[in-house]
Amino acid sequence: MTFYKDHNCYWKNYRLTLIEKIKRFNYKFLFLICAVVFIGIGVLYSAANGSWHPWADKQLLRFFLSLSALTVVSLINYRLWLKYAYWIYGIGILLLLGVAVFGHVGMGAQRWLNLGIVNVQPSEVMKIALVLALARYFHNATLSDVRSIQYMIPPALMMIFPVGLIMEQPDLGTSLMLVFVTGAIFFVVGVQIWKFFVVIAGVSVCIPIIWTFLHDYQKQRVLTFLNPENDPLGAGYHIIQSKITIGSGGLFGKGFMESTQSRLNFLPEKQTDFIFTVLSEEFGFFGSTALIGLYFIIILYGFYIGYRSNNFFGKLLAIGLTVNFALYVFINIGMVSGLLPVVGVPLPLISYGGTAMLTLFVGFGLIESVYINREMVIGPNGANEDD
Amino acid sequence: MSLLWRYERLHVLYKRTAMLIGFFFILVLILIARLFYLQIIEGERYLELADKNRTAVRLTLPARGYIYDRNGVKLAENRKTFQAVLIREQAPDYLRTLENFQKLMPLSEEEVTRIKKEIKQKRPFMPIRIKDNLTFQEAALIQMNAPDLMGIQTEEEIMRVYPLGEYGAHVVGYVSLLTDRDMEKNPDSPLLDLPGYRIGRVGIEEAQESVLQGIPGMRKTEINVLGRTVRLLEEEKAVKGKNMALTIDARLQEEATKAMGEEAGAAIVVDVQTGDVLALVSTPSFDANLFTVPISTKTWNALIKNEKNPLQNKAVNGQYSPGSIFKLVVALAGLESGHITPERKVYCSGRVQIGKQYFHCWKRGGHGHLTLEEALMHSCDVYFYQLAQEIGPDKIAEVARRLGFGELTGIGITGEKKGLVPTREWKLKRYDDGWRLGDTLNYSIGQGYLTATPIQLTRAVAEIANGGYPLEMHLITSPDESRTDKVNRIKAQKRLFQTSHLRLVRSGMNMVVNQRRGTAYYSRIDVDGQKMAGKTASTQVRRITMKERKAGIVSQKDLPWKYRDHGLFAAFAPIEKPRFAVVVVAEHGGGGASAAAPIAARIMREALRLYPNDESLNNLFNPDIYPFSDDNLNDSDKADFKEKTADLQDTPVNASDTFITSQNDSMADTQKTDEVAQ
């Protein structure tokens, strides 16, 4: 089946068999992702002093679970998500409200919601739901729409509402990511650049006010970021040890399983947010640069898939999810190398943790779906039309 | 739906996405630059910091050098004792473990409180001291009961042990844990930072601290974030301190202490030909082992408050009026200045009047006409009053100084005192007063301002006995020089006095002991024909008032202890070719003849018995040919210990089984079996 232009590829006529879908699947993209995951499992194995237990084995299991999720999501035509984007967003908001009311407190923050069978982290759901909702909103927006302030109020609220709820949990990292993802989508759909500067200026003015709303531990993190040596055994301990760990790797690193900082536990919770340091210590500048390169290729691939898509929703979906992924990378590495405050963002695909991996894989599944259905055309009204 | 609308929108989207990609690329470059900075530019520094993180350098205690006596008997040694420690993380129920432990070995209330406090404070893997100074058997008992004592382990610990106990406490000294003052005194010594380091106090332990202490070892270990040792990276073994042998004879030391009995004072034995000190006793003594483990406040207070002052080393530190012993010096001064000849007689009427003051002889009726020898024999005061007036104090002071009065003997024990040889200048300076005739008279019988330490008196007597050769007093043997060489070296020196003068004085001393009417006749000895000569002295602690004299309170026993006379006796033996000089000071003993002379006789008898001739003094133990390399604890020792306790568990403790050790066994093994034998 060959596709030509709009009339043939209009979403109502757009039907792919399973075989076709499998053929059109972007294996290179998947391969890059899996490569990073396997590097991560290797680092977790090393971080446990050469043991599959307790992290590497579970991470492998989660990888297979996430991989099946990716497969399922990629095989679903994402037009479905265009249709239900607001519903999904609504569910996300409900879940966040649920956390605020019934949530489980873990690690000093209330992030989990027990749904009987599974623990759900609604802020993770929100990362995808917000991108879906914004893509849906801008799907039929004209440039002049985007440049008018009234038109931009609903999407701004779409972002502010969940960010407020997540801040309350409190989870500074996720809140910031949602803000940045929204900002990136606003940027690519064409909001004038001067408006960003106005907002940034406005926020700067508001910082002293926001400061008073921050939790003590959040304040502490920011203060510690500004001067970690101030409190070397307390709040600054993490970042100092983190820098020592990365720095001591040198050019080529100490070698696989030779990390002393990690083996001797100088970094608490090294398997989660600080996993990059273990890799840096063992594989040095070359290893960590290579990993960043790999991440950048995945990011570029994500944008490329967006470029290949034949409809605006697909493009925005791919761009938004890719930006989300990129933010993980930049914030995490920036934070462990002492460029950013420690805000609790994991290193994507590598840090130990199931929810983040699942969310990312669902996101990649959506990107794959965009790629598989790249010729599909969805008109401005596509979201409201029935099948 | 216009095409333009779609085109415009896409155009912006692509442009903005390209900008975004460019922005991300810049972020990637920033991250890489940051990594370059951390890993390449600052890499070395961070590597060092990581190393510092992961390693801990700990010093290990060196074993202290042993101290032997002249025959190789140990005066101070290290024994492996055991301490029981509790490691909380290995004790599921530490309270029960403690209870069970107390069933085995009682712990004081105080200790239990301390242990519980430490359990709360220390990290779970840090050992907490439960009880130390355990014997091998006690440690074995703990091992056998291991199932009931979860978390309790026995560790080896080196303890300083003084086999002589209280017999050698003052001369050998002791070790004890550091106080803050020690830290201030030696701020640079790395040893002092070591927990459990015990520094030498008093005696040889203090004086030879730097020789005995050894060099600390170093253990570099890898530690994790909690400070738990993961593995050993590097080890430098501690170097044991040097062993040393003293000139002391442990048997003589013990006999001398026993001879002193209840008396407070000092007893010294020297080899008159070399100045080697064979015994140096100060009484009452204390057990040197008391201080190795922290001494209890009760014991400490008892020592401090005792009026007989057990902690003072009276042999080098006590300053006494030499009394009649000083008559030997006056006699030498008189002979040298020509005021007396052997034949000259002086009449003693019992007292001498100087101005309005009477100076009494100790014998109320007087001694009549006396030669010098007789004057010494009777210890006649009037003879020497007369003599001193003729010689004058300057000559007496000069001779006294020549014999070493007023200066340190340099025996090598800290805290030695100088005593005092008064002169006209000294009195003017000290009291702003001229020298009076009365001062000279007091001088002549060794009273007044004059003071001397027992060790000084010993040297003076030894120099009179050895023919006038100046002596240096020694406590430490010199392995490089044989005794014969040493004697020859000393004999090559110029004599301090004319031989004939010394002979006369010695003859007087002979008569003191061996003539029926001599003051120390009842303390005469005869060991295979070898006899003792000596001189008694009784010195007043307070003036006997005229009233008391008239009331007839002269019996020393009627006075309270504090007011009784000091009794002194200085002796040498044998009379022909002397080997030993002995000085005994019995504080408030009542009198030289009654209190000090019998003690000196007993000591001298033992000395002559132990060393019947000159040659018997020749063989000195050489500490350097006795190698002990395995004093530091190591793993093999521990394995060894485990093996042994395993044996004990299988079979009932049978001393004869464990006691047999072959000649090839290391010294450490012998020590352990010693412990079992106890």
Q: What is the DSSP string of A288-315?
A: HHHHHHHHHHHHHHHHHHHHH-SSHHHH
Q: Can you tell me the distance from the alpha carbon of B525 to that of B646, in angstroms, rounded to the nearest whole number?
A: 57
B34 to A337: CB separation less than 8 angstroms, yes or no: yes
In a domain, B505, yes or no: no
pLDDT (0 to 100) of residue A322: 97
Asked whether the predicted pLDDT for residue B271 surpasses 70, the reply is yes
Whether A68 has a pLDDT exceeding 90, the answer reads yes
Tell me the residues of B at the A interface, defined by beta carbons under 8 Å apart.
1, 5, 8-10, 12-14, 16-17, 19-21, 24-25, 27-28, 30-32, 34-36, 38-40, 42-47, 49-51, 53-54, 222-226, 230
Confirm whether B613 is domain-assigned. Answer: no
In chain A, what residues touch B35 (CB-CB under 8 Å)? Answer: 246, 280, 285, 288-289, 292, 337
Mean pLDDT of the region B32-59: 85
Rounded to the nearest 5°, which phi and psi values hold at A195? -65, -35
Closest residue to B50, CB basis, from A142, A245, A315 = A245
Residue scoring higher pLDDT (B177 or A325):
A325
Q: Can you tell me the mean pLDDT for B117-132?
A: 78
pLDDT at residue number B553? 54
Contact call for residues B624 and B243 (beta carbons, < 8 A): yes
Average confidence (pLDDT) over A150-159 = 94
* Nearest CB to B13; choose among A280, A288, A315: A315
Stretch (H or E) spanning B280: strand B277-283
Whether B324 is catalytic: yes
Alpha carbon B41 to its chain's center:
58
Region A231-247 average pLDDT = 74
Three-class SS state of B610: helix
Q: What is the mean pLDDT of residues B376-383?
A: 91
Could you tell me whether strands B55-60 and A119-120 are parallel, antiparallel, or unpaired per DSSP bridges? unpaired
- What's the pLDDT score for residue A320? 96
Higher pLDDT pick, B50 / B35: B35
Place B626 in a pLDDT band, splitting at 50, 70 and 90.
Answer: low
Q: What's the pLDDT tens digit per position in B414-448?
A: 889 999 999 999 999 988 888 888 889 889 999 88
Contact B16 A303 (CB under 8 A): no
pLDDT at B643 over 70: no
Question: What pLDDT, on a 0 to 100 scale, did the predictor assign at position A109?
Answer: 55
Which of B16, B27, B38 lies at the smallest CB-CB distance from A190?
A: B16
**Cα→Cα distances A246→A273, B91, B227, B257, B379, Å:** 14, 38, 21, 70, 92
pLDDT at A187: 95
User: Where is pLDDT greater, at A156 or A111?
Assistant: A156
User: Which chain B residue shows the shortest CA-CA distance from A140?
Assistant: B6
3-class secondary-structure state, position B53: helix
Of B1, B40, B54, the CB nearest to A251: B40
- Residue B253's pLDDT is 93
Segment among A129-133, B419-423, B477-481 with least mean pLDDT: B477-481
pLDDT at A28: 94
**pLDDT tier at B306 (50, 70, 90 boundaries)?**
confident
Measured CA to CA, the distance from residue B395 to residue B335 in angstroms comes to 11
pLDDT band at A162 (very low <50, low <70, confident <90, very high): very high
State the best of B39, B49, B52, B123 to mutate against chain A, taking most chain A CBs within 10 Å.
B39
Q: Indicate whether B7 belongs to any domain.
A: yes
* Chain B nearest CA to A99, separation (Å): 33
| pLDDT at residue B668, as a whole number | 37
How sure is the predictor about B562, in pLDDT bands with cuts at 50, 70 and 90?
A: confident
Residue B22, in any domain of the structure? yes
How big is the A-B interface in CB pairs under 8 Å?
142
Closest C-alpha to A75, from A347, A291, A285, A373: A373
Whether B53 sits inside 8 A of A261 (CB atoms) is yes
The CA R_g of chain B, rounded to the nearest whole Å, is: 36
User: Is the Cβ pair A292, B31 closer than 8 Å?
Assistant: yes
pLDDT score at B364: 82
pLDDT at residue number A208: 84
Interface test with A, best of B24, B32, B125 (most A CBs within 10 A): B24
Per DSSP, B595 falls in state: I
By percentage, how much of chain B surpasses pLDDT 90? Answer: 34
A387 band by pLDDT with thresholds 50, 70 and 90: low
pLDDT the model gives residue A115: 60
B29 found inside a domain: yes
Check residue B645 and give its pLDDT.
43
Q: What's the pLDDT band for B495 if we cut at 50, 70, 90?
A: very high
Asked if residue B657 is part of any domain, the answer here is: no
CB A210 within 8 A of CB A196: no
pLDDT at A211: 80
Judge whether residue B599 has pLDDT over 90. Answer: yes
User: What is the count of structural domains for chain B?
Assistant: 1
**What single-letter amino acid sits at B445?**
I
Q: What's the first-to-final CA gap in chain A, in angstroms?
A: 21
The range of the structural domain enclosing residue B23 comes to 3-41
Inside any domain, residue B427:
no
Kindly determine whether residue A247 and residue B226, on different chains, have CB atoms separated by under 8 Å: no
Find the closest chain B residue to A291 by CA distance: B32
**Structure confidence at residue B663 (pLDDT):** 34
Task: Mark yes or no for CB contact A247/B46 under 8 Å.
Answer: yes
Q: What per-residue confidence (pLDDT) applies to B545? A: 60
Phi and psi (nearest 5°) for B674? -55, -45
Mean pLDDT calculated for residue range B450-468: 94
| CA atoms of B540 and B523, how far apart (whole Å) | 22
Count Cα neighbours of A262 within 13 Å in the Cβ-side half-sphere. 31
pTM value is: 0.65
Nearest beta carbon to residue B28 from set A244, A292, A307: A292
When pLDDT is cut at 50, 70 and 90, the band that residue B660 belongs to is very low
Q: What is the DSSP pairing of strand B533-539 with strand B566-573?
A: antiparallel
* Backbone φ and ψ of B132, nearest 5°: -120, 180
Q: What's the gap in Å between the CA of A187 and the closest CA on chain B?
A: 7
* A81: pLDDT strictly greater than 60: yes
Tokens of B405: 């009065």
For residue B223, give the nearest of A250, A264, A285 by CB distance.
Answer: A264
Q: What is the mean pLDDT of residues A192-203?
A: 92
Q: Which residues of A touch B45 (CB under 8 A)?
A: 247
With tokens 């606003």, the residue in question is A186
What residues form DSSP beta bridges with B531?
A: B526
pLDDT at B506 over 70: yes
**Nearest CB to B47: which of A248, A339, A379?**
A248
For residue B30, the model assigns a pLDDT of 96
Average pLDDT, chain B: 83
pLDDT value at residue A270: 82
Of A109-113, B299-303, B306-310, least confident by mean pLDDT is A109-113
Residue B21 lies in a domain: yes
> According to the model, what pLDDT value does residue A106 have?
54
What's the average model confidence in pLDDT over B236-251? 88
Does A7 have pLDDT greater than 60?
A: no
- The pLDDT of residue A3 is 47
Asked if omega into B124 is within 30° of 0 (cis), the reply is no
Pick the more confident residue, A287 or B182.
Answer: A287
Average pLDDT, chain A: 86
B592 vs B599 pLDDT, higher one: B599
- Would you place residue A378 in the very low, low, confident or very high pLDDT band (cuts 50, 70, 90)? confident
Q: Do B43 and A296 touch (CB under 8 A)?
A: no
In the predicted structure, residue B342 carries a pLDDT above the cut 80? yes
Highest mean pLDDT among A23-37, A218-232, B529-543, B623-637: A23-37
> Which chain A residue has its CA at the smallest distance from B15's CA?
A188
Give percent above pLDDT 90 in chain A: 50
Which chain A residues are within 8 Å of B20, Cβ to Cβ? 184, 187-188, 303, 319, 323
pLDDT in tens, B272-305: 999 999 999 998 999 988 888 777 778 888 888 8
pLDDT of B538 > 50? The answer is: yes
Section A157-184 average pLDDT = 89
* pLDDT tens readout for residues A309-359: 988 999 999 999 999 999 999 999 998 998 888 777 899 999 987 788 999
Residue ranges of E strands in B474-605: 526-527, 530-531, 533-539, 566-573, 580-587
Rounded to whole angstroms, the Cα distance separating B247 from B559 reads 39
Among A192, A239, A244, A329, most B C-beta atoms within 10 A, so best to mutate, is: A244
- What percent of chain A clears pLDDT 70, i.e. is strictly above it? 89
Q: What is the pLDDT of residue A133?
A: 96
Better pLDDT: A226 or B282: B282
- How far does A245 lie from chain B, in Å, by closest CA? 7
CB contact under 8 A, B53 and A264: yes
- Residue in B324, B444, B538, B594 annotated catalytic: B324
